[in-house]
Amino acid sequence: MSLITVHHLTYGYDHHPVLRDVSLAFAPGEVVSLLGPNGSGKTTLLKLLLGIHTPQHGTVRLEGRPVTDIPPKLLARRIAYVPQVHRLTFGYRVLDVVLMGRMPHKPFFFRYDKQDDAAAHQALERLSIGHLSERPYTAISGGERQLVLIARALVQGADIFVMDEPVNGLDYGNQIRLLGRIADLARDGYTFIKTTHFPDHALWISDRVVMLKKGTVVADGRTGEVVTRNNLYQLYNTHVDVRELGGGCRICVPEALYQFKRPMTGFNPAIVKLARVAG
């Protein structure tokens, strides 16, 4: 059974179409990566899934119910948004930022109780960032902030995470750690729908890939079947090899990289010879 269904969805800005007749379905526990060049409609699709935009044509349904008919507080208990950039000017504690996830479960006037505190601490520990609870949110790294926002989504009670370029601006180590946390949570049954500009990341953790170009779906299916040389060329107009590393791991290698190789000068001749043999 599909968790979210997108049926003949069309949307545009100022009479400029951004999405054209898009139909998709997302299953519980899936990690789905949306790939596509800038302006392909990825972020707009996320906003429609979140109920931020109302479809001009077609529908977005959560378990059969149009998301536009679901009250925002109820929708927030199912779907959480994790933005690519999130900055606060005031130095709230990390714990306070996570506690904000309890707001969909509270009346207009409320105070956090012991159960809320316990849930927040549990979410932080689950992501191995419990030691940050008293730190100012403004004083932690970008990777740590992304994990804090995921903890906030867990406290929110959502089982569907919508993420827009979650690794944007993160160093390589934090990218890998964040992808690992997403994979861990997916194994526990959470659903992730995320945009990315990195086909490699889709290969590493995604069950499925949807490729968008000029507002239409050009490919949709299991990751290994969709992330191919031909499809990547169609999407990005550049030649990319998809290589097997063994153990089921695959990577993308743009052919243009071969043109960037510089001559090895000033190195030990033995090392140069070894590198050429290995290459």
Q: What is the pLDDT of residue 3?
A: 93
| Domain of residue 242, CATH code | 3.40.50.300
Tell me whether residue 124 is in a domain: no
Q: What is the pLDDT of residue 244?
A: 84
Q: What is the pLDDT of residue 272?
A: 47
Tell me whether residue 166 is in a domain: yes
Q: What is the pLDDT of residue 261?
A: 59
Q: What is the pLDDT of residue 279?
A: 43
279 residues of the chain, pLDDT tens digit each: 689 999 999 999 887 889 999 999 999 999 999 999 999 999 999 999 999 999 999 999 999 999 999 999 899 999 999 887 666 667 789 999 999 999 888 887 788 889 999 999 999 999 999 999 999 998 898 889 989 999 999 999 999 999 999 888 888 888 898 899 999 999 999 999 999 999 999 999 999 999 999 999 999 999 999 999 999 999 999 999 898 887 778 888 888 776 665 554 555 555 445 444 444
Tell me whether residue 128 is in a domain: no
Domain that holds residue 69: 4-78+159-278
Tell me whether residue 222 is in a domain: yes
Q: What is the pLDDT of residue 189?
A: 93
Tell me whether residue 40 is in a domain: yes
Structure tokens, 45: 């699709």
Tell me whether residue 100 is in a domain: no
Domain count, the chain: 1
Give the contacts of 62 (CB within 8 A, at least 6 positions apart).
3, 4, 70, 75, 78, 79
- Is residue 243 within a helix (H) or strand (E), and if so which, with residue range? strand 240-246
Structure tokens, 232: 């990547």
Tell me whether residue 71 is in a domain: yes
Q: What is the pLDDT of residue 89?
A: 62
Tell me whether residue 252 is in a domain: yes
In this structure, are residues 58 and 220 in contact, taking their beta carbons and an 8 Å threshold?
Answer: no
